[in-house]
Structure 1
Amino acid sequence: MNNEDSAQLEKNQQAVYKRLSSSFKNNRIGHAYLFDGSRGTGKMAAALFFAKLLLCEKPNNNVPCETCPSCRRVRSGNHPNVTIIEPDGQDIKRGQMSDLIFKMTKKGYESGRKIYIVSSAERMNVSAANTLLKFLEEPEGEVTAILLTDAYQAILPTIQSRCQRISFLPPSREMLIDALVKKELTDAMAATVSMVTADLDEAYRLASDEQFVHMRKTVLKLVEALDRHVHEALLFIHSDWIPLFKEKEDFERGLDLLLYAYRDIVSVKAALQSMPTYPDQQQFFNNLSIKMPYNQLSLMMEAILQAKKYLHSNMNRTLLMEQLVLNMQEGLRVV
């Protein structure tokens, strides 16, 4: 994490940034923190920011300098006073906690505070959690624990009570798109996956999944077919849609992506400044918006929502899509 990353933390998690900086400024450093929030909210980045701040040789306005040897070693993962614990397989095991405690109490380390970061803390098995709990109850010297979790309720209440809880807000859609573009996704794909999930890791995984990319193309082809002729759309349902969207979860995702397409068309027609799901289709959607009155678009979107309800009632999916196509073409609800 460099100065740019620190600025990103301040922008994305302003309350967290202020609280950590204020704790340092007022010399009120807790011995244990519990960072909780969904995946992709920057918990590890914040933990490393705080570690650097606590160990920095020349902090500037309650921000790590990023240039001193201590900051550089934390950034490279080579600082002897910073230890990161991650699950060994499915769990964090007792042996890992025992080794950590030995390391934190061992003499001969560099002077100054020792910091340990426990990633996915909810995955500590019972023995590991109890071992950590004993250490939290009897902290020795300048030691700071930072536990990270995306499942706060899965943390033992006795551990919760001994930590200062700092909650992370889920990223805004704009923040998520920016982060995905920095990972070298196209603006178009970043915009689409950001409508499907607010989790950065899952969004990136979806965008890299060939099946999801194919799903996106198939949904847009159905919009094109519906614009041309109902019979073409019906043939497309049998030849392309049904074979691709085999699983119920995928089928529902396809309906969501279809709904987002027509929502984009409404936004274009109304000249709204909302962020589109398909920014690469704006010219095509503009042409459609000229031809389609608002009431037709509204009924088409309602038909998709009704189809989602019928999907959960286990209606035959081929029949469901045939009815949806017919009723979208006619501007009627699915019945």
Structure 2
Amino acid sequence: MQDQMNNRLVVEQKKITERLSSSYKNGRIGHAYMFDGERGTGKEAVALFFAKLLLCASPENFVPCETCHSCRRVTSSNHPNVTLIRPDGQDIRKEQMSNLVYSMTKKGYESGRKIYIITRADRMNVAAANTLLKFLEEPEGDVTAILLTDSYQSILPTIQSRCQRLSFLPPSREMMISELVEKGITPSMAATVTMVTANLDEAFRLAGDDQFAHMRKTVLKLVEASDRHVHEALLFIQSEWAPLFKEKEETESGLDLLLYAYRDVVASKAGLQSTATFPDQQELVRGLSMKMTYSQLSANMEAILQSKKQLHGNMNRTLLMEQLVLSMQEGLLVV
């Protein structure tokens, strides 16, 4: 099932895979790539496609054969020349990067290029990013790095400049909504999940997830509470938000949904015809669009973005949300 989904994502990113195949054909393999794009656009699937191509025993028309021993081992995550790094908890830590650099510089078990893929590269802490930067500046041997991110602006500029950037475009959101509705998902939920992910299979899973539905409802209740008295909003954070959004990743998802809600308000105020994230909340959205100024809306959205940045520090998440509520009440940023 996972292989079928990965194959479909590779096909959807045809322009990217053709560009990588052309680099292989012309013998112009870069030492570092940055794959950036929305969640669910197939960055990891394409990274594995490229790893297979670089190690394939018998590529066909400059694409991996998928059947040789090397391709099969990449598929099963058992190739010694391919290293996949994921966040350890919420972050990618210095120890992970140090271990990676050590494994990339020692003699490999097999001949051929070494490839390391870093998912959520924007989650590298400062020490990890600096360790990677030193290795990117002075790569040793046939080594190719592939960094994956859905937050390109969060990557250190010094790392950005040393990578070839390939941007992954999402499929048509309207097409995804239509397909989800055909599968029995309500139009309002389909509109929400397609803002969260560009992967149709993941969107379908989220749409049927009771936990996600509860998160969606709670975010909208926070928007309503924030429009009323500050004490009511702060009580809401304590009583309803904090028990639901316990982990950093859950809080980040909640902040994203909150940001999308205010985008809906801005779109309504400006008279834009774009597909809303919460089309079932038109009465709430219209009410806020008439009540709030553009400067207030901009301040709220900036406050949410600032909270997302602070989230990955050691700040208490309930306190973070309380500060956000105060900031939105005042129309000011809490720094």
What is the TM-score normalised by the length of structure 2?
Answer: 0.61
What 5-or-longer segments of structure 1 have no aligned partner?
217-245, 257-276, 279-300, 315-335
Q: Cα gap change, 1:158/1:188 in structure 2, threshold over 3 Å: closer, same or farther?
A: same
* More moved, 75-84 vs 13-22: 13-22
Deviation digits for residues 219-271 of structure 1 (CA, Å, limit 9, x no counterpart): xxxxxxxxxxxxxxxxxxxxxxxxxxx99979x97xx8xxxxxxxxxxxxxxx
Equivalent-residue separation in structure 2 for 1:82 and 1:69 (angstroms): 14
Q: Which letter does structure 1 place at the counterpart of 2:60?
A: N
Percent identity among equivalent residues? 56
Equivalent-residue separation in structure 1 for 2:168 and 2:111 (angstroms): 31
Equivalent-residue separation in structure 1 for 2:26 and 2:52 (angstroms): 17
Deviation at 1:311, TM superposition (A): 7.3
Equivalent-residue separation in structure 1 for 2:138 and 2:83 (angstroms): 19
Equivalent-residue separation in structure 1 for 2:212 and 2:161 (angstroms): 44
Q: Cα gap change, 1:89/1:112 in structure 2, threshold over 3 Å: closer, same or farther?
A: same
Q: Is the partner of 1:166 in helix, strand or coil?
A: strand
Q: Which letter does structure 2 place at the counterpart of 1:154?
A: S
Deviation at 1:90, TM superposition (A): 1.8
Q: Cα gap change, 1:307/1:91 in structure 2, threshold over 3 Å: closer, same or farther?
A: same
- The number of equivalent residue pairs is 236
2:183 is matched with 187
What 5-or-longer segments of structure 2 have no aligned partner?
218-239, 242-253, 265-277, 297-335
1:268 is matched with none
Q: Does 1:112 align with 2:108?
A: no
Deviation at 1:211, TM superposition (A): 7.1
Pick the structure with greater CA Rg. Answer: 1
Equivalent-residue separation in structure 2 for 1:168 and 1:107 (angstroms): 34
Q: Cα gap change, 1:303/1:155 in structure 2, threshold over 3 Å: closer, same or farther?
A: closer
Equivalent-residue separation in structure 2 for 1:137 and 1:17 (angstroms): 26
Equivalent-residue separation in structure 2 for 1:202 and 1:3 (angstroms): 16
Q: Does 1:18 align with 2:18?
A: yes
2:10 is matched with 9
Contact persistence 1:116–1:145 (CA under 8 A):
yes
Deviation at 1:6, TM superposition (A): 3.8
* More moved, 145-154 vs 199-208: 199-208
1:309 is matched with 289
Contact persistence 2:85–2:117 (CA under 8 A):
yes
Deviation at 1:191, TM superposition (A): 5.4
Deviation digits for residues 82-114 of structure 1 (CA, Å, limit 9, x no counterpart): 000011112111110010011111114211011
Contact persistence 1:173–1:194 (CA under 8 A):
no
2:130 is matched with 130
Deviation at 1:21, TM superposition (A): 1.3
Contact persistence 1:118–1:147 (CA under 8 A):
yes
2:95 is matched with 95
Q: 5 Å matches for 1:276-287? A: none
Deviation digits for residues 88-147 of structure 1 (CA, Å, limit 9, x no counterpart): 112111110010011111114211011000011011111111111111111111100000
What is the TM-score normalised by the length of structure 1?
Answer: 0.61
Deviation at 1:149, TM superposition (A): 0.7
Deviation digits for residues 125-183 of structure 1 (CA, Å, limit 9, x no counterpart): 111111111111111111000000111111111110100000011232366469x87xx
Q: Is the partner of 1:188 in helix, strand or coil?
A: coil
Deviation at 1:59, TM superposition (A): 0.7
Equivalent-residue separation in structure 2 for 1:64 and 1:302 (angstroms): 49
